[in-house]
């Protein structure tokens, strides 16, 4: 059985960054299961369902009427109603100050091993983008653990837009080095970041610009022998450096799904650099 695990934020995913790879994967015969940090139903960010929305950095519409309709359809369906809860799969990492730290840390590691067995049915992992991941995925050790499970199993890992930051912070507990060290990746470039208005689903709060420039994080995480590739000025930017497939932003969503299939089925290891 061909199965993909797709992780989404509970604070808003960008519609096309879910719908496009989902469509590509399902058309190719894959079963896609969804997961969120705490098992709550994910929702699309409102601008990603609005065909009249003007993206400030690009000064143009980025949601076609057809895509807005597809995102609305999945929002109105029950497809996302019962996602897998990552906090049920993996316990909290114990504080080292705990008087039972050794036993707690053993329990935690055993739990991660059991989760790895449960997730072994999946061919690949994909992390959906949007601004939501900034809140509950990027600095979430359970998301990092899931990434490391797929990485340790030498299985493909795809990430889009701001969700690529999850890869930068997924690290071995003791070595503390990013798993994308010396790798080639793309992600939301500095030129595409908002100056103001970064928003999240269900939160009445204007963050202004993103809390961090993803491009800088990726440049640092891939050093010294890897590279961040922004492809600014080009319509698409998708990079494959096995086992990672990374997409820069919304226009790269279909291509990210297509490259993921090529990596799985054709053993592609390099693309875009």
Classify strands 60-61 and 3-7 as parallel, antiparallel or unpaired. unpaired
- Give the total number of structural domains in the chain: 1
Q: pLDDT band at 6, cuts 50/70/90? A: very high
**Res. 1: pLDDT tops 90:** no
pLDDT attached to residue 233: 92
What residue numbers bound the domain in which 168 lies? Answer: 3-271
pLDDT exceeds 90 at position 147: yes
Instruction: Please state, as a whole number, how many other Cβ atoms lie within 10 Å of the Cβ of residue 3.
Output: 14
Q: In what order do the strands lie in the sheet with 31-36?
A: 84-85, 31-36, 3-7, 124-127, 157-160, 244-247, 238-241, 270-271
Per-residue pLDDT at 260: 98
Could you tell me the pLDDT band of residue 92, with boundaries at 50, 70 and 90?
very high
Per-residue pLDDT for 2 more than 90?
yes
What's the average model confidence in pLDDT over 199-227?
95
Mean pLDDT of the 2-8 span: 98
Overall average pLDDT of the 138-155 stretch: 98
| Segment 24-47 mean pLDDT | 98
> What CATH number has the domain bearing residue 55?
3.40.50.880
Q: Is the pLDDT of residue 173 over 90?
A: no
Answer whether 207's CB lies under 8 Å from 268's CB.
no
The residue-averaged pLDDT of 149-164 equals 98
Q: What is the pLDDT of residue 206?
A: 81
> pLDDT band for position 268 (50/70/90)?
very high
Cα–Cα distance, 120 to 118 (Å, whole number): 6
Cis preceding linkage at 224, omega within 30: yes
């Amino acid at each position: 059985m061909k199965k993909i695990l797709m992780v989404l934020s509970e604070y808003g995913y960008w519609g096309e960054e879910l719908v496009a790879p989902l469509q590509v994967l399902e058309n190719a015969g894959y079963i896609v299961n969804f997961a969120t940090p705490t098992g709550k139903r994910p929702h699309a960010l409102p601008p990603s369902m609005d065909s009249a929305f003007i993206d400030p950095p690009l000064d143009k519409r980025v949601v076609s009427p057809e895509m807005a309709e597809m995102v609305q359809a999945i929002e109105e369906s029950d497809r996302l109603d019962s996602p897998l809860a990552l906090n049920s799969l993996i316990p909290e990492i114990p504080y080292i100050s705990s008087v039972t730290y050794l036993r707690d840390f053993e329990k935690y590691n055993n739990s991660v091993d059991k989760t790895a067995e449960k997730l072994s049915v999946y061919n690949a992992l994909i992390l959906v983008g949007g601004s939501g991941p900034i809140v509950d995925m990027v600095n979430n050790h359970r998301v990092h653990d899931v990434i490391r499970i797929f990485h340790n199993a030498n299985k493909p890992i795809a990430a889009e837009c701001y969700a690529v930051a999850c890869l930068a912070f997924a690290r071995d507990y003791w070595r503390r080095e990013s798993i994308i060290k010396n790798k080639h990746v793309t992600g939301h470039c500095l030129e595409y970041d908002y100056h103001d208005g970064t928003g999240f689903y269900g939160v009445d709060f204007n963050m202004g610009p993103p809390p961090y420039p993803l491009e800088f994080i990726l440049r640092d995480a891939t050093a010294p022998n890897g590279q961040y590739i922004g492809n600014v000025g080009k319509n698409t930017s998708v990079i494959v450096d096995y086992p990672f497939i990374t997409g820069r932003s919304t226009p790269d969503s279909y291509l990210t799904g297509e490259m993921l299939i090529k990596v799985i089925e054709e053993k592609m290891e390099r693309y875009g650099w």
